[in-house]
Amino acid sequence: MAIKFNFTVSDVDAENIMSCLQDRITKQLVMIAKEHGRAHTNNLTGIEKEESATEIEWLENSIEYTKGLMQKMENSRVEE
């Protein structure tokens, strides 16, 4: 199933939407860096290492998904 959004937003709104998506990516990159740091500075057990790796993988996949959303959005100027 798919949903088609068919609406036009102002330049400011479009910039805000893209900014929100980029902010999400930036926050997730910070979370990945923190998780790498935690994994390397603490003596994690095997299960904790696995959980850390799983969290990093999830964050990386989420970043790729968000980038894909940004690419899917058509970005063309229209006359009002």
Among the listed residues 78, 31, 24, the one whose alpha carbon sits nearest the alpha carbon of residue 55: 31
| Per-residue pLDDT tens over the stretch 6-18 | 888 888 998 999 9
| Per-residue pLDDT tens over the stretch 25-37 | 999 999 999 999 8
- pLDDT of 59 higher than 90: yes
Bigger pLDDT: 39 or 57?
57
Within a domain: 54: yes
Within a domain: 55: yes
Within a domain: 34: no
Within a domain: 78: no
If you count them, how many residues does the chain have?
A: 80
The total of structural domains in the chain comes to 1
Residue 49's domain comprises 43-71
